[in-house]
Chains A and B, each alone.
Chain A
């Protein structure tokens, strides 16, 4: 069995499924990708553009190595890869087994669907017959009904049924007799008895006579459906394909809420100008129904006034969705910005929102761009669109109350609803079958500290199946899940597919570049430790560098604040310390590095003294020409040289220091971290009643640190709830701009409101004033509802200042990476390649990558490890048809291509004195070919000849 190639089942072909599949395929494992619909791409292929690029970047998910193995360039149009078997329009029939040995059977919808599974319902009660018929027909089953056993027998004699559901107690022939007679006519008929609770014994008796199962009245529609589905699947299972896989990744995604099914549909389906954001995305697309024009779907008139309604089917108890859908705010920001900038005709673009959830490192800036472009943001929840409203020539009247309670009204041509993400229909059945732990709303609940692990070993989960997710979190989670699957396959002793180019041409090709099979992880916080462990577990050597004298980073002070984190940190630290493939270098920093990417030789040097610790991750001054400083001082150098093929930057970050002037740091003023530590040490004065004022966005989301740190709002809520639990009579006021509780973290916000925490919104420029002296703190603000000056005395004032990344530009640049505008690691693409630099050998995770909580940090660490493992599994990488090549005979070695290449992909091989292309770095952009005058730099299919032909064609004459 050990020579068997590892194989993983991926359920769902949305972006999460694609990402996980590609990661596994690139690492050399086989993937079976099942997708219910007739195409891959999921929800995202219906979105025209994504923020912050305002373009589609889906293709950036395509592999960075051996790119020829996928033969398409646009992921919207499909996916292919040697190692991925893609089955669209396919249903999962059954899944059984354990890690390393799951049996899966699946069936193409073209090979027999529910319409091939006719159902006969027999009951003397009309209401039962009718409702059963309605439920089952809706799911695609052909249903016939009979009001008596006699009629049922007639129908059975005429046609063939797969399933019969029959009542037991009926006038005339009873159900049990019908069962016996029916089986005589059609022995393979699946018969389910329907009975009242009192007659269960009879039903059980009937099963001895050949009934398959029974249902107890009154029925739950879901129970009926599941029963019939099970019979259907068993029946078709004979036709189903069977396979064996080692691991399973559930990426079945989410669906958008359908507004017309809600109690308040905002006229959707009735007023033609009311559309969902997916529909609007099509209208906005130049490839959409209006072409280059933005027109009303019915009248065809140019659209000039557009309103967006947030939280339709999100943050809404009425629709049973108390959670936030995470992505809709940014979709609306994007759509409003694009509408406003692409179509000058749009005079009014207005987003109605409750909290503008611009969480994360790039969103807030994007929203500012929208504001700058003239998009109006109105903090209001429009109650409804007037019932019986007839859309007339003037537009759709929208009425709302402004914060002071005044009624406002405006006319719009279009109202775009932003419906929330809900669990996919497939998910509940799958979760139930596989006994997966789900939350109150039906999303799969991952195991704590194990992002992507379900309660079932070997079954992993990512994307929308775990709750509303944006692209970035989905893609990161998918890579993390891929890593988990790799770990299962590795421990089952599975092999990877041989690198085909290597076997084809052993020793013949000189244009390959190789990778040193080891990793350098910089930063010994939880991100660095998790990445190091995952890489080492796959059999690669790891050097883990930490500037302080201990591992753990921020989790050391957070361990009491997060339930279970203490023992998790202890376990991880012990695992890292005990791992024979991990070398730990504490009180150490990176001095310099030599060698090409992938063949780095990095010098580690001891941190000099504690005073410098804060800057210890900054490399020493490099000597001239990038060569290491002279080390000839007598062999006693405490420095260590480390060779590695990939590098993971996990240097973390810290709580930002408050950057607004504080009143002498009065006794009651704490930063959020200080307050947390005080809480954890029970050092909060409990003299009651306790008054606490919390201030969100202190120096965050403002020029200088213009991003949302994503962690402070949930932390404040946690602290507030803890205070309220310990001191119910305490008064906690949270001054906020937008409560950033995306996804399921919304529940803490709801809980805090219920617990009596007071929330006071403020706008930038109108920040509440905080003063403090020996007697305590005082807060003065203008209440937005009353419009009146307010004052509050507080024992404690807590400032949420957010995260300051700890990555220095020098360190990033040492490996050819860089910082983004906010000081975090500059990702190749914030959405589609979230944990890597343009050079895929340079990875980052944790809070030097982007702000995030422990779960996100662990996800990015595992995603980075997945990328690292994929790369390290291969020895040599060859240029492909999408990377540039060099025709050395024509090359003058002028190196203009080296200078021009934005990806540092070209270099002179010192041995051959020829120019080479690094296939992992080359993006195939063709800039080299444009810069090279002699045609020595070429990119396949982007040669001179077509250009000459084009020129000839344009001129329509010889030159």
Chain B
């Protein structure tokens, strides 16, 4: 089922705000989760809104992306709340939430997920620039929307979108209940929504919308995006191999890391209650540091910086959704996500695993196989021992 919302007053933002207000008014939703500004500040964060008259600061589509809402969804759905929540999510936020549900950190029974073709994001400094260009941000937002959905772009005006978005191979919603099909759409006139699940159909039916259809150009645009982004990924992959292909170069890559753990805090699939790097597993005695200094001539402190990133790479090797938050959050301007996206996308190929692709697809680490990767583990091959 595909429905259509007529665009009001040439404002896609307003149109969507009304759409959410309608849900709250009719009771189709008890609350909606939408990115919103909290004051005059340009920064947006996911906000849980229960009142239909508090939607005017929401920015459903825009280049601001400072929190991946996946883990927020986990907080909201950890146990049953007995109410219906509608969540407006970027594709990488849905992917993160799907991975978290597999890890029993949330459940989607009580949520209706509306996913949209992705508007991409800007880095924090570029966002500051972008948001500071005029007095009223809403015009800039409308302009952004009108630009990013009409053809493959890697920058809007002077501002390049984040590297993670430039190489993203799934900028469209997967595993949503409702997909908002913006790419190639005549957005000044209407917005097309497709129900992908029964829950989605129920929601759209309750909203009493007119019938619509997928924008004609959307499929072709998606194909173009795929081609461009595959190339962009390959370029980044080679760059990363060049920059981190040896222990020495890897050390150089992370040399500015100060172990602030921001990347871990914002990572949507780093779900541990207590990180192993906060435990005694990596607590060393003073003599240990001295003996290392003795052995290697020097130990930079804090130590275990690269080791921390390698561990995180191992932990999220299959679940990394490529949202780029780690780069956005890094105070030392390390392109963390470039490395993570490059490594994890290659690693998960070995398991034919795609994070967020399918609720029912088990995490590779959770599947026990008596014999696999025999060329690596050497089992069953006595010669190799």
Chain A residues with CB under 8 Å of chain B are 54, 286, 338, 341-342, 889-896, 899-902, 927, 930-931, 933-935, 943-945, 948, 951-952, 955-959
Contacts and interface: CB of A to CB of B under 8 A. Distances in A.
Contacts of B292: 952, 958
Given A944-B281, A948-B282, A959-B304, A896 B274 contact: no
Determine which residue in A894, A943, A952 has the highest number of CB atoms from chain B within 10 A of its CB, and name it: A894
Interface of B: 103-105, 247, 251, 271-276, 279, 281-282, 292, 296, 298-300, 303-307, 310, 315, 362-363, 365-368, 370, 382-383, 385
A944 B367 contact: no
B219 to A, nearest CB: 37
B247 A894 contact: no
Given A896-B363, A934-B275, A935-B281, A959 B305 contact: yes
A902 B370 CA distance: 9
Closest CB pairs A-B (n = 4): A899-B366, A934-B272, A902-B368, A959-B307
9 contacts: A342-B382, A892-B103, A892-B105, A895-B104, A927-B368, A933-B315, A948-B307, A957-B247, A958-B296
Nearest to B385: A286
B274 A889 contact: yes
A600 B131 CA distance: 64
Nearest to B271: A892
Nearest to A892: B273
A787 to B, nearest CB: 42
A896 B362 CA distance: 10
B362 A342 contact: no
Of A286, A931, A934, A945, most buried by chain B (CB within 10 Å of CB) is A934
A933 B276 contact: yes
Nearest to B293: A958
A935 to B, nearest CB: 4
Contact of B366 (A896, A943, A948, A959): A896
A959 B301 CA distance: 10
Given A894-B103, A896-B365, A931-B366, A958 B275 contact: no
Contacts of B104: 893-895
Contacts of A934: 272-276, 279
A945 B285 CA distance: 12
Contacts of B370: 902
Contacts of A956: 296
B276 A899 contact: no
Given A890-B274, A891-B273, A896-B366, 18 more contacts: A892-B105, A894-B105, A895-B103, A899-B362, A899-B367, A902-B370, A933-B276, A934-B273, A943-B281, A944-B276, A951-B307, A957-B247, A957-B251, A958-B296, A958-B298, A958-B300, A959-B305, A959-B307
A97 B361 CA distance: 66
Contact of A892 (B247, B272, B282, B366): B272
Contacts of A338: 382
A901 B300 CA distance: 39
Given A958-B292, A958-B303, A959-B251, A890 B362 contact: no
Contact of B365 (A54, A900, A944): A900
A342 B251 CA distance: 41
A951 B251 CA distance: 14
Contacts of B281: 935, 943-945, 948
Nearest to B78: A893
A931 B306 contact: no
Nearest to B289: A958
A436 to B, nearest CB: 43
Contacts, number: 85
A758 B297 CA distance: 85
A199 to B, nearest CB: 68
Nearest to A930: B365
Contacts of A889: 274
B29 to A, nearest CB: 28
B30 to A, nearest CB: 26
Contacts of B282: 944, 948
Contacts of A958: 292, 296, 298-300, 303
Nearest to A933: B315
Q: Which of B273, B275, B305, B307 has the most CB of A within 10 A?
A: B273
A890 B272 contact: yes
A894 B104 CA distance: 5
A934 B276 CA distance: 5
Quick one: which of B104, B251, B300, B385 has the most chain A CB within 10 A? Answer: B104
A890 B278 CA distance: 10
A959 B259 CA distance: 12
A384 to B, nearest CB: 35
A958 B297 CA distance: 10
Contact of B296 (A341, A945, A948, A957): A957
Central interface residue in A931, A943, A958, by most chain B CB within 10 Å: A958
A896 B103 contact: yes
A956 B366 CA distance: 33
Contacts of A952: 292
Contacts of A286: 385
A900 B318 CA distance: 15
Contacts of B365: 896, 900, 930-931
A957 B279 CA distance: 23
Contacts of B385: 286
A901 B368 contact: yes
Contacts of A948: 281-282, 307
Contacts of B103: 892, 894-896
Nearest to A890: B274
A879 to B, nearest CB: 20
A952 B310 CA distance: 13
A930 B377 CA distance: 15
B367 A900 contact: yes
A232 B274 CA distance: 71
A251 to B, nearest CB: 32
B306 A959 contact: yes
Nearest to B308: A959
A558 to B, nearest CB: 38
A892 B367 CA distance: 19
A739 B382 CA distance: 34
A326 to B, nearest CB: 26
Nearest to A338: B382
B319 to A, nearest CB: 10
Nearest to A887: B279
A352 B180 CA distance: 74
A951 B314 CA distance: 14
A959 B271 contact: no
Contacts of B276: 890, 933-935, 944
B276 to A, nearest CB: 4
A953 B366 CA distance: 30
A952 to B, nearest CB: 8
Contacts of A933: 272, 276, 315
A284 B310 CA distance: 41
A885 to B, nearest CB: 14
A338 B273 CA distance: 49
A119 to B, nearest CB: 52
B382 A890 contact: no
A957 B299 CA distance: 9
Given A894-B104, A943-B281, A955 B247 contact: yes
Nearest to B254: A959
A945 B279 CA distance: 11
A341 B381 CA distance: 9
Nearest to A931: B365
A935 B279 contact: yes
Contacts of A901: 368
B201 to A, nearest CB: 24
Contacts of B271: 892, 894
Contacts of A895: 103-104
A345 to B, nearest CB: 12
Nearest to B281: A944
